[in-house]
């Protein structure tokens, strides 16, 4: 067996994570296809105008849960149970309270929100009702996303995948039934999505019944303890807030300059980003979980392995998606009910390179986020979202039909700035040297230290055991032992592996 335990763990997370992202993406594409083919471009325009509310839901989730998942992954690896339960409880309580406040405020100001989202009077009633349903369901949708993130972090990616598949299936069926047979119009799509999220939340709660679960409710941490959690999630939170603002402003500019047709093209771009996000968002989420754990136990070798895997899969996946969009633009457009028009093909080809640049920028931001380089991560998130606004303004004035070029141009400028501010993609390690021993059930190295031999005998049912002896800058020596066998006393279960740190 040549693969390391970190590589095995990475793929155990990767496969269910990609499946869940694919199901979510397919569900979004099918949702848009149902709306586009039954209702038409106006239905797609309504969904796109309300897209900032989707971004708001993601933002409320990321405020606490992104940072909480990073800290939890580290604390589980370090066997710091009090930290794990405190962070989980705090993130849950704060997110629920914040989402309820936003929900009440949104319902009280629904007409104002609809007026900001929609500039066309004939579409405003549908936008108002669609937005109302989304705001009502906001607390459930926010908690579903947050809990799914924490459950996946706590070594249950398959449960999250099951929840996503069930929710996607319910959403697709109800989407068609509500719109086609119950004649609810585009609002039926919102109700179908809300129902799917509610069921998904219930499925994720099954994790609390597992004996190996580290997620338990305890006391909320005092405000002084919130800082790290909020700071780790700050880059993603800023990006989502700016995404909501950007989507609202760009929708308004395109709507006023080009009309409903331009809004529908923007909806296509959002679906492309979702499809590409299967790879760069899904793989980066796995990389963050694995490498937060490797940082927590000072595993320099494991960090490098996970990072290499992430770059490889993101590059291949996003590259294939962008190539297919470039080669078959009209077939892609036809899925969403568009006719074979030359301008559609041109616009789609202009959007395809954006996915590659977006993936590179997002990956770098994710790396800087988990390694504690918060400032540069914030700069990336701000530029990635806001740079498109001035570029869009200029292109709409000079050549409105090429407005889609604003996205690849802005992402390219962002990447150039990141490269100019180059920082290391590795954390600051205290390990000066290390030596890894790999044991299989049938082969134990002759030069293996006796204490590792004794430790391997105490561990049960393993097929592969790795022991990394590390010398730190202060002269201390620690040994990180991981195995993929049965639960062993004094070992903690993190990233689907049993591990323990011995200090000498």
427 in a structural domain: no
> What is the pLDDT, as a whole number, of residue 380?
86
Residues 140 and 200 in one domain: yes
* Cβ count within 10 A of residue 416: 11
Do 176 and 229 belong together in one domain?
yes
What Cα–Cα distance (Å) separates residue 82 from each residue in 148, 206, 338, 480? 21, 22, 54, 22
Indicate if 229 and 157 belong to the same structural domain.
Answer: yes
Q: How many domains, in total, are found in the chain? A: 2
| Tens of pLDDT, residue by residue, the chain (504 residues) | 457 888 988 988 888 888 887 777 777 777 777 887 788 778 877 887 887 787 778 778 888 898 899 899 888 887 788 999 999 999 999 999 999 999 999 999 999 999 888 878 888 999 999 999 999 999 999 999 999 999 998 989 899 999 989 998 898 899 889 988 888 888 888 899 899 999 999 999 999 998 888 899 998 888 877 888 888 888 878 877 777 777 778 877 887 777 777 777 777 777 777 777 778 888 988 998 898 888 888 888 889 999 999 999 999 988 998 888 888 877 777 776 666 555 677 777 877 888 899 899 989 988 988 888 888 888 888 888 888 889 888 988 888 888 888 889 999 999 998 888 776 778 888 777 888 888 886 677 777 788 888 877 777 778 888 888 888 888 888 888 888 887 767 788 888 888 888 877
Domain region containing 482: 432-503
CA 194, chain centre distance (Å): 19
Per DSSP, the residues of 451-484 read HHHHHHHHS-S-SEEEEEEEEETTS-EEEEEEES
Please give the angle made by the CA atoms of 22, 24 and 25, to the nearest 5 degrees: 65
Residue 436's beta-bridge partner residues? 468
Residues 487 and 342 in one domain: no
Q: Which two tokens stand for residue 482?
A: 């991981």
| Predicted local distance difference test score (pLDDT) of residue 343 | 64
Q: How far is CA 124 from the centre of its chain?
A: 31
439 shares a domain with 407? no
3-state DSSP call for residue 334? helix
Angle at 125 between CA 119 and CA 127, to 5 degrees: 65
- Based on the fold, state whether residues 254 and 347 are members of the same structural domain: yes
| Structure tokens, 68 | 């909480």
Task: Characterize the bridge pairing of strands 477-483 and 497-503.
Answer: antiparallel
Pick left, alpha or beta for residue 40 (phi over 0 → left; psi -120 to 50 → alpha; otherwise beta).
left
What pLDDT was estimated at residue 392? 87
Q: How far is residue 256's CA from residue 18's CA, in Å, rounded to a whole number?
A: 38
- Strand partners of residue 502: 479
State which of 365, 398, 420 marks the end of a domain.
420
Q: Which two tokens stand for residue 196?
A: 């799917």
Three-state SS string over 221-277 comes to: CCHHHCHHHHHHHHHHHHHHHHHHHHHHHHHHHHHHHCCHHHHHHHHHHHHHHHHHH
Tokens of 195: 């129902």
Q: Are residues 219 and 135 in the same domain?
A: yes
Boundary of a domain, candidates 420, 441, 468: 420
- Cα 267 to chain centroid distance, Å, stands at 20
The answer to whether residues 61 and 144 touch, using CB atoms and an 8 Å cutoff, is no
Contacts of 140 (CB under 8 A, 6+ apart): 194, 197, 198, 201
| Euclidean distance between CA atoms 459 and 484, whole angstroms | 10
Q: Map tokens 């740190």 to a residue.
A: 501
Q: In this structure, are residues 372 and 289 in contact, taking their beta carbons and an 8 Å threshold?
A: no
Kindly state whether residue 294 falls inside one of the protein's structural domains. Answer: yes
Identify the domain boundary among 391, 420, 449.
420
Instruction: Give the torsion sign (CA, 155, 158, 159, 160).
Output: positive
pLDDT for position 221: 87
Same-domain status, 438 and 319: no
- Same structural domain, 116 and 218: yes
Number of H helices, E strands in the chain: 18, 5
Rounded distance between C-alpha atoms, residue 4 and residue 388, angstroms: 42
Q: What is the DSSP letter of 443?
A: B
Could you identify the residue written with the tokens 């190539």? 323
Domain presence at residue 244: yes
- Examine residue 103 and state whether it is found in any structural domain, yes or no: yes
Handedness of CA 202, 203, 206, 212 (dihedral sign): negative
pTM for this one? 0.77
Do 410 and 437 lie in one domain? The reply is: no
């Amino acid at each position: 067996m040549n693969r390391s335990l970190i590589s095995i763990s990475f793929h155990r997370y990767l496969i269910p994570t990609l499946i869940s992202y694919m199901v979510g993406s397919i569900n979004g594409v099918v949702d848009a296809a149902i709306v586009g083919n039954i209702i038409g471009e106006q239905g797609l325009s309504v969904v796109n105008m309300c897209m900032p509310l989707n971004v708001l839901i993601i933002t409320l989730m990321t405020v606490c849960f992104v940072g909480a998942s990073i800290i939890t992954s580290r604390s589980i690896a370090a066997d710091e149970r009090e930290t794990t339960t405190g962070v989980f409880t705090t993130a849950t309580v704060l997110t629920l309270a914040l989402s309820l406040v936003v929900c009440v405020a949104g319902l009280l100001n629904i007409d104002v929100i609809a007026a900001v989202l929609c500039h066309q009077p004939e579409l405003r009633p549908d936008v108002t009702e669609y937005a109302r349903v989304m705001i009502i369901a906001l607390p459930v949708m926010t908690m579903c996303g947050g809990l799914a993130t924490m459950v996946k972090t706590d070594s249950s990616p398959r449960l999250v995948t099951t929840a996503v598949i069930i929710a996607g299936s319910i959403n697709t069926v109800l989407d068609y039934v509500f719109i086609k047979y119950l004649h609810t119009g585009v609002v039926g799509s919102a109700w179908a999505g809300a129902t799917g999220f509610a069921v998904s939340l219930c499925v994720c709660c099954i994790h609390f019944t597992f004996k190996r679960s580290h997620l338990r409710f305890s006391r909320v941490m005092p405000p002084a303890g919130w800082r790290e959690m909020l700071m780790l999630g700050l880059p993603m939170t800023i990006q989502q807030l700016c995404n909501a603002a950007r989507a609202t402003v760009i929708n308004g500019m395109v709507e006023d300059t080009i009309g409903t047709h331009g809004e529908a093209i923007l909806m296509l771009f959002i679906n492309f980003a979702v499809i590409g996000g299967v790879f760069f968002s899904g793989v980066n989420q796995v990389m963050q979980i694995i490498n937060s754990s490797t940082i927590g136990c000072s595993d320099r070798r494991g960090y490098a392995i996970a990072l290499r895997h992430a770059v490889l899969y993101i590059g291949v996946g996003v590259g294939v998606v962008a190539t297919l969009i470039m080669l078959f633009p009209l077939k892609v457009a036809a899925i969403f009910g568009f006719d074979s028009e030359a301008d559609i093909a041109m616009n789609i080809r202009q959007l395809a390179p954006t996915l590659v640049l977006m993936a590179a920028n997002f990956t770098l931001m994710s790396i800087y986020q988990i390694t504690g380089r918060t400032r540069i991560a914030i700069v990336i998130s701000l530029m990635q979202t806001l740079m498109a606004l001035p570029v869009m303004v200029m292109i709409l004035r000079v050549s409105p039909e090429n407005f889609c070029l604003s996205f690849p141009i802005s992402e390219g400028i962002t990447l150039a700035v990141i490269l100019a501010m180059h920082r290391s993609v590795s954390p600051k390690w205290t390990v000066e040297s290390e030596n890894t021993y790999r044991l299989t059930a049938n082969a134990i190295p002759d030069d293996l230290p006796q204490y590792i031999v004794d430790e391997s005998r105490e561990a049960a049912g393993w097929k592969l055991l790795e022991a990394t002896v590390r010398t730190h800058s202060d002269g201390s020596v620690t040994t990180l032992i991981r195995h993929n066998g049965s639960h062993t006393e004094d070992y903690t279960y993190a990233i689907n592996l049993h591990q323990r740190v011995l200090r000498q």
